Amino acid sequence: MASSHGTPPVFNNKVISWIDHRLPIFSYIEKEYHTFPTPRNFNYFWNFGAIATVMLVLMIATGIVLATNYTPHVLMAFDAVERIDRDVPQGWLIRDLHMNGASFFFIAVYIHIFRGMYYGSYKAPRELLWILGVVIFLLMMATAFMGYVLPWGQMSFWGATVITNLFSAIPVVGESIVIWLWGGFAVDNPTLNRFFALHYLLPFIIVAVVALHVVALHVHGSNNPTGIDPKGPQDTVPFHPYYTMKDGFGVMVFLIVFAAFVFFAPDYLGHPDNYIPADPLVTPAHIVPEWYFLPFYAILRAIPDKLGGVLAMFGAIAVLFILPWLDTSRVRSCTFRPIYKWFMMFLVVDVIVLGICGSKPAEGFWVPLSQLATLYYFAHFLVLLPILGKIERPLPLPPSIADAVLKKKAV
């Protein structure tokens, strides 16, 4: 990332140049976020990294404020959250921002992941960048899961019970692991207490991994909708003002939709049962996780065997780690992959179907449907991807990004 672009910046301000001579943070910002050469042809899918970053900051800010009024104790947690909603000045707003913020953080990240898959951003030399992204996704899931336990409602309690029990499927040591996770013989006060500690910690670990993700990104720069590398200055524009403005615009539009939920439908994405205090003796008739976990939950339930279900669920994420090596095609972007393009869209449909299955009771026609969708999910990664790369004939690639952009304009 170092010498490829520009001479070291000269700062007119004396203080800035004094600091920069000793700690080159201003040079760094200048190089990585101002002059940084960025492909000129980004579409709006490229907004979602910036949007996800904004959501992460928002989650940390609202979370710290919530924590000042929250008590991680089984006898007090539910009431503490109700008090935040009713009595604490603007507590309702902070909580609704945090609650819906988690959902919108996942929306942004899911679109971001789709972008990476559709345009082949995981391929060489961006494999580690992709893997760091999957690590962030996993950490987010752990964080959101533990956060959802904190209000100590019925869904909190039973979600925590079912998810921690997944580990009991591990042969031999499973039971001991679950007791270790709980710190007792059931989900109880020790569990709530440690989940709060970890829920506070993990977002900061996410920040650290995001930093690595960005460092890796800036080594080879961003991919782009054509999937071909920039060949010279005619293919790029400086990051600022071009993409600071475009990202800023995308963030605004996203936040408008987000605000509509926060102010007009704050509980739409949640589950009413979580406003019933946790009761260890009664399981709600129909327990479901938060919407962003539904596809994985459907995969868990699709396999009629405890260990098998758990393995399939974790496997659904594990395949993402090895995606760069499962895809044998040398062409990055689906724009030039006439067959894979459709399979990619079909995968999106498949994941949505899984999500719907996950939200329904595990009975009747939903069971075979979720099994079929699970089978297709794995077939996509483990069978279709490796084979397609060999048999598909890609469309001719444009000679350069500039060519692709200008030709499109001319037509």
Partner 1 sequence: MVATGALGAVGAAAVAWPFINNLNPAADTLALSTIEVNVTPIAVGQAVTVKWRGKPVFIRHRTEAEIKEAEAVPMSQLPDPETDNKRVTDTAKKVRPEWLIMIGVCTHLGCVPLGNKAGDPKGEYGGWFCPCHGSSYDTSGRIRKGPAPKNLVVPEYLFTSDALVRIG
**Assigned token pair, 194:** 């440690």
In the chain, DSSP finds a helix count (H) and a strand count (E) of: 17, 2
Looking at the DSSP bridge assignments, the partners of residue 153 are 277
Candidate ranges 54-62, 327-335, 359-367, 398-406; the one touching ligand HEM (CB under 6 A): 54-62
98 is catalytic: no
List the catalytic residue out of 30, 290, 327, 350: 290
Residues 306-335 that bind ligand HEM (CB under 6 A): none
Distance CA 404, CA 164 (A): 51
Nearer to ligand HEM, 150 or 323 (CB): 150
**Assigned token pair, 134:** 């999957």
39: enclosing H helix or E strand: strand 37-39
| Residue 133 in contact with ligand HEM, rule: CB under 6 A | no
List the catalytic residue out of 30, 235, 247, 327: 247
Nearer to ligand HEM, 51 or 402 (CB): 51
392 is catalytic: no
Reduced to 3 states (helix: H, G, I; strand: E, B; else coil), residue 331 is coil
Q: How far is the CB of 270 from ligand HEM (least distance, A)?
A: 6
Integer-rounded Cα radius of gyration of the chain: 23
| Residue 203 in contact with ligand HEM, rule: CB under 6 A | yes
Q: How far is the CB of 82 from ligand HEM (least distance, A)?
A: 10
Binding mask 72-111 for ligand HEM (x = CB under 6 A): ---------x-------------x--xx--x--x------
222 is catalytic: yes
Residues within the interface to partner 1 (CB under 8 A): 158, 161-166, 168, 179-188, 190, 194, 280-283, 285-287, 301, 303-307, 309, 361-363
Among 37, 49, 147, 358, binds ligand HEM (CB under 6 A): 147
Q: List phi, psi (to 5°) of 237.
A: -130, 155
What string of DSSP letters covers 180-241?
A: HHHTSSSS-HHHHHHHHHHHHHHHHHHHHHHHHHHHHHHHH----TT-PPP-SGGGEEEHHH
Q: List phi, psi (to 5°) of 281.
A: -100, -10
**Nearest position to ligand HEM, beta carbon:** 63
| Residue 221 in contact with ligand HEM, rule: CB under 6 A | no
Which residue blocks in 265-400 are alpha helix, DSSP H?
Answer: 294-302, 306-321, 323-326, 340-359, 366-379, 385-391
- Which residues are marked as active site? 218, 222, 246-247, 290
Residues that bind ligand HEM (CB under 6 A): 56, 59-60, 63-64, 66-67, 70, 81, 95, 98-99, 102, 105, 140, 143-144, 147-148, 150-151, 199-200, 203, 206, 270
